[in-house]
């Protein structure tokens, strides 16, 4: 009898403990912004730490499938990889003839190389990366390329020569096509940008600019409105703030997308805007893992944090907005760099428009799409590995060899390119030597 | 004896409680059953190859030969065609893009273009059956090769079909490419093979 009572008691304790555990674990899942620390097996890498509370963004609803996790990676990074002409797409590894290779590195899944929740394995690019990834498939490279004899298995990607995904500026024919270029091109100027949506016809655009009628009578024209880009384009107050009946003093953070869709899309994919892209509160410098100015800690990152609510000053957004928050060596040294000198001279009218090099010039480059010049607002896109910056940024003004060398020199990255590179990456030399050894043989095609 | 039974009951209770707790805190999985196929694998791969070969030949003859440097010279077929305003993918790339697109939508079959003399060494035969099949179609012009092999614990029906030089650009490009291990191809030669695999 005593044992039965004791058993019932233990079952009761078990039931209560299980319910309490289920409640403790389950309740935070019901509310989006509640910390889910009990479920986080380790801190996130700095590529994802802003969205660590949005477990479902990567894991889906069920935490039960490699495919769900893979789809999440592709949803955010797939377009970027396609645009980079990914040298190792998944399809390369789903072929059964590569089954033995998958036993070493299952490259069908991003997480095989880029593990999350293990920031101690981060190689400095916001992702973890096995340093021996190349050797599993290319260990006999020296038999095909004798020049590679004796090179370390971990130097393929670290020496500034190859990238796993993006080799657009590093493949042999490209190296040859740009061999011998001067370090500085004769006319180092970036193209002027287009600010409005070219996917709309004029009538649609005008309707957007006119907004929803006049603003409420109590609304006064903001100071310094005259002369700004929106005023000159004829943008009405209600285009952003809503009609008189639905007027809001502070438009939603992503309201700008109505006219600046591609810019907002880029912004919400980068580290500045990815929280907004995941329907979380805006990122603040206090949440950053980089050094930031203390006084900027609680600023919220939306379009107007850099562009201003009514001045829309792109010059300010290109430098002042960045160095107003960022307080690392690279950012601070920019103000003493020759790139910044060019920017000051452009602003004084001493150099033609597009001659200056701002933070945005490199980190938010101007891209040409069907003749339309757009500013890429995902400032993380070309950041790591640094070679991703060569084609869209460096080559606008500099030669390829100089660009590869400069980006491979860690001292220059810190001092913001004050001086010439001390490092020489021999990839162009090697391409040239190989070409000459074959008598510069060119195919018909 | 009674004490022993109590201990056993106690242990069973703990096990049941643990199992129930685990069940409460986890989901249940379910595996999908694979439908059995009814078509002869040889007919299946032969049919697939017929379509692949027709498309590949047509792209080479109707686009590359007609509009490329040896025709109207209005497009430039090139390995890095994406970097050229008038660039067009080479026939071998066009074929690979098809294989890659298929791999994204189906795991019922896979295919690739290989050669004993590949420009890209990754396209050399790799498995024993591929090596045997590629050599067979070179040694026996006009014949196909069929076999089975096990890769990564999965059995495959593998068919190898000859890839023949059907147009002048095939021969000209391979004979002049600086990475080509063979430079004396002639029209009608078996330059490589199409390998089609079907998981059994």
A380-421: pLDDT as tens digits: 999 889 999 999 999 999 999 999 999 999 999 999 999 999
> Which residues from chain A sit within 8 angstroms of residue B25, using beta carbons?
21-22, 25
**Among the partner residues B27, B101, B176, nearest to A62 by beta-carbon distance:** B27
In the structure, what pLDDT confidence band is assigned to residue B30 with cuts at 50, 70 and 90?
Answer: very low
Query: What average pLDDT does this structure show over A197-204?
Result: 73
Which letter does DSSP use for residue A416 in this model? T
**Among the partner residues A97, A438, A445, nearest to B126 by beta-carbon distance:** A97
pLDDT at B36 over 90: no
d(CA A16, CA A35): 24
- Interface mutation target, options A15, A70, A95, chain B, most CBs of B under 10 Å: A95
* Three-class SS state of B165: coil
Range with lowest mean pLDDT among A35-39, B42-46, B73-77, B194-198: A35-39
Closest chain B residue to the Cα of A434, Cα to Cα: B178
* Predicted pLDDT at B22: 45
* Three-class SS state of B76: strand
* Predicted pLDDT at A244: 85
Closest chain B residue to the Cα of A141, Cα to Cα: B121
Higher pLDDT, B137 or A155: B137
Query: What average pLDDT does this structure show over A327-336?
Result: 97
Neighbours of A330 (CB within 10 A): 16
pLDDT at A40 over 60: yes
Closest chain A residue to the Cα of B25, Cα to Cα: A22
* Predicted pLDDT at B5: 56
| Chain B interface includes A286 (CB < 8 A) | no
Closest chain A residue to the Cα of B97, Cα to Cα: A91
Instruction: Using a pLDDT cut of 90, give the percent of chain A over it.
Output: 58
Q: Which residues of A, range 172-231, sit inside 8 Å of B by Cβ?
A: 173-174
- Interface mutation target, options A21, A97, A143, A433, chain B, most CBs of B under 10 Å: A97
> Which residues from chain B sit within 8 angstroms of residue A100, using beta carbons?
151-152
> Which residues from chain A sit within 8 angstroms of residue B13, using beta carbons?
7, 10-11
Residue B113 domain-assigned (yes or no): yes
In the structure, what pLDDT confidence band is assigned to residue A56 with cuts at 50, 70 and 90?
Answer: confident
Arithmetic mean of pLDDT over chain A: 90
Q: Which residues of A, range 25-44, sit inside 8 Å of B by Cβ?
A: 25
Higher pLDDT, B132 or A132: B132
Instruction: Using a pLDDT cut of 70, give the percent of chain B over it.
Output: 82
| Chain B interface includes A10 (CB < 8 A) | yes
The ipTM is 0.80
**Among the partner residues B29, B126, B127, nearest to A64 by beta-carbon distance:** B29
Q: Which two tokens stand for residue A437?
A: 């050894």
* Predicted pLDDT at A232: 87
Cβ distance of A97 and B130 shorter than 8 Å: yes
- Interface mutation target, options B179, B181, B193, B197, chain A, most CBs of A under 10 Å: B179
pLDDT at B9 over 90: no
Per-residue exposure over A19-56, b if at least 16 CB sit within 10 Å of its own CB, e if not: eeeeeeeeebeeeeeeebeeeeeeebbbbbbbbbbbbb
d(CA A258, CA A252): 11
Range with lowest mean pLDDT among A127-131, A248-252, A401-405, B73-77: A127-131
**Which CATH number characterizes residue B179's domain?**
3.30.450
A353-370 pLDDT per residue, tens: 999 999 999 999 999 887
> Which residues from chain A sit within 8 angstroms of residue B167, using beta carbons?
none
The most confident of A29-38, A237-246, A333-342, B162-171, by mean pLDDT: A333-342
Query: What average pLDDT does this structure show over B20-29?
Result: 44
**Among the partner residues B101, B127, B178, nearest to A97 by beta-carbon distance:** B127
pLDDT at A238 over 70: yes
pLDDT at A371 over 60: yes
pLDDT at B12 over 60: no
Query: What average pLDDT does this structure show over A318-332?
Result: 97
> Which residues from chain A sit within 8 angstroms of residue B106, using beta carbons?
none
| Chain B interface includes A61 (CB < 8 A) | no
Cβ distance of B29 and A94 shorter than 8 Å: no
- Give the range of the structural domain holding residue B141, as residue numbers without chain letter: 41-199
The most confident of A203-217, B23-37, B49-63, by mean pLDDT: B49-63
* Predicted pLDDT at A37: 74
d(CA A225, CA A400): 43
Pairing of strands B145-151, B76-77: unpaired
Asked whether the beta carbons of A138 and A164 are under 8 A apart, the reply is no
d(CA A118, CA A110): 15
* Three-class SS state of B160: strand
d(CA A89, CA A73): 13
> Which residues from chain B sit within 8 angstroms of residue A438, using beta carbons?
178
* Predicted pLDDT at B13: 54
Cβ distance of B69 and A444 shorter than 8 Å: yes
Closest-CA distance of chain A to residue B100, Å: 5
In the structure, what pLDDT confidence band is assigned to residue A32 with cuts at 50, 70 and 90?
Answer: low
d(CA B101, CA B104): 5
In the structure, what pLDDT confidence band is assigned to residue B31 with cuts at 50, 70 and 90?
Answer: very low
> Which residues from chain A sit within 8 angstroms of residue B69, using beta carbons?
444-445
Closest-CA distance of chain B to residue A18, Å: 7
d(CA A314, CA A431): 41
* Predicted pLDDT at A228: 87
pLDDT at B33 over 50: no
Query: pTM for the whole thing?
Result: 0.85
| Chain B interface includes A370 (CB < 8 A) | no
> Which residues from chain B sit within 8 angstroms of residue A10, using beta carbons?
13
Residue B162 domain-assigned (yes or no): yes
* Predicted pLDDT at A390: 96
Half-sphere exposure of A135 (CA within 13 A, CB side): 9
Cβ distance of B151 and A96 shorter than 8 Å: yes
* Predicted pLDDT at A33: 63
Closest-CA distance of chain A to residue B13, Å: 8
Length of chain B as a residue count = 200
d(CA B83, CA B87): 7
In the structure, what pLDDT confidence band is assigned to residue B24 with cuts at 50, 70 and 90?
Answer: very low
How many Cβ contacts (< 8 angstroms) between chains A and B?
A: 92
Cβ distance of B178 and A22 shorter than 8 Å: no
> Which residues from chain A sit within 8 angstroms of residue B82, using beta carbons?
85
* Predicted pLDDT at B29: 38
Instruction: Using a pLDDT cut of 70, give the percent of chain A over it.
Output: 96
Closest chain B residue to the Cα of A22, Cα to Cα: B25
**Among the partner residues A100, A102, A171, nearest to B80 by beta-carbon distance:** A171
B144-180 pLDDT per residue, tens: 999 999 999 999 999 999 999 988 888 988 998 888 9
Cβ distance of A445 and B112 shorter than 8 Å: no
Query: What average pLDDT does this structure show over B83-98?
Result: 95
| Chain B interface includes A22 (CB < 8 A) | yes
Query: What average pLDDT does this structure show over A429-440?
Result: 86
* Predicted pLDDT at B143: 97
């Amino acid at each position: 009898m005593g044992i039965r009572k004791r058993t019932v008691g233990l079952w009761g304790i078990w039931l209560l403990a299980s319910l309490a555990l289920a409640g403790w674990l389950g309740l935070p899942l019901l509310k989006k912004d509640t910390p889910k620390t009990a479920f986080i097996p380790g801190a996130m890498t700095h590529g994802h730490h802003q969205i660590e509370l949005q477990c479902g963004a990567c894991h889906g609803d069920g935490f039960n499938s490699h495919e769900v996790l893979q789809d999440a990676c592709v949803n955010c990074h797939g377009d970027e990889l396609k645009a980079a002409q990914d040298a190792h797409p998944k399809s390369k590894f789903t072929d059964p003839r590569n089954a033995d290779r998958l036993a070493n590195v299952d490259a069908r899944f991003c997480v095989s190389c880029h593990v999350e929740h293990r920031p101690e394995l981060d190689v400095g690019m916001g992702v973890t990366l096995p340093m021996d990834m190349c050797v599993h498939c290319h260990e006999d490279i020296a038999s095909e390329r004798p020049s590679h004899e004796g090179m370390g298995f971990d130097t393929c990607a670290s020496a500034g020569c190859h990238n796993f995904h993006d080799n657009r500026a590093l493949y042999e024919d490209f190296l040859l096509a740009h061999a011998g270029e001067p370090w500085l091109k004769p006319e180092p100027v970036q193209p002027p940008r287009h600010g409005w949506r070219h996917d709309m016809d004029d009538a649609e655009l005008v309707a957007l600019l006119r907004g929803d009628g006049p603003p409420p009578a109590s609304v006064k024209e903001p100071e310094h409105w005259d002369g700004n880009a929106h005023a000159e384009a004829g943008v009405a107050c209600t285009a952003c703030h809503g009609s008189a009946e639905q007027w809001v003093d502070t438009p939603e953070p992503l309201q700008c997308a109505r006219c600046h869709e591609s810019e907002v899309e880029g912004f919400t994919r980068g580290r500045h805007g990815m929280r907004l892209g995941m329907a979380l509160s805006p990122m603040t410098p206090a949440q950053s893992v980089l050094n930031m100015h203390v006084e900027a800690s609680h600023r919220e990152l939306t379009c107007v944090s850099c562009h201003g609510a009514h001045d829309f000053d792109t010059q300010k957004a290109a430098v002042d907005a960045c160095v107003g928050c960022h307080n690392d060596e690279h950012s601070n040294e920019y103000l003493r760099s020759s790139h910044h000198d060019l920017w000051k001279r452009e602003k004084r009218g001493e150099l033609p428009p597009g001659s200056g090099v701002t933070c945005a010039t490199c980190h938010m480059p101007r891209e040409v799409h069907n003749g339309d010049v757009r500013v890429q607002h995902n400032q993380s896109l070309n950041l790591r590995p640094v070679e991703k910056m060569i084609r869209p940024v460096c080559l606008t003004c500099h030669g390829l060899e100089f660009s590869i060398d400069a980006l491979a020199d860690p001292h220059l990255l810190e001092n913001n390119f004050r001086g010439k590179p001390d490092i020489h990456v021999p990839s162009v030399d090697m391409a040239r030597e190989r070409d000459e050894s074959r008598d510069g043989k060119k195919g018909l095609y | 004896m009674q004490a022993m039974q109590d201990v056993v009951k106690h242990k069973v209770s703990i096990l049941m409680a643990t199992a129930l707790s685990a069940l409460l805190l986890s989901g249940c999985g379910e595996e999908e059953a694979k439908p059995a196929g009814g078509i002869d694998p040889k007919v299946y791969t032969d049919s697939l190859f017929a379509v692949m070969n027709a498309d590949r030949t047509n792209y080479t003859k109707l686009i590359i030969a007609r509009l490329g440097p040896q025709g109207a010279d209005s497009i430039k077929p090139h390995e890095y065609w994406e970097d050229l305003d008038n660039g067009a993918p080479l026939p071998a790339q066009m074929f690979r893009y098809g294989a890659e697109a298929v791999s994204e939508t189906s795991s019922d079959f896979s295919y690739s273009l290989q050669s004993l003399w590949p420009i890209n060494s990754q396209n050399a035969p790799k498995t024993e059956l591929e090596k045997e099949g590629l050599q067979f179609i070179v040694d026996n012009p006009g014949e196909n090769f069929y076999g089975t092999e096990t890769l990564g614990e999965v059995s495959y029906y593998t068919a190898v079909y000859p890839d023949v030089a059907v147009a002048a650009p095939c021969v000209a490009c391979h004979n002049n490419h600086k990475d080509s291990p063979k430079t004396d191809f002639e029209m009608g030669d078996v330059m490589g093979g199409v390998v089609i695999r079907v998981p059994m």
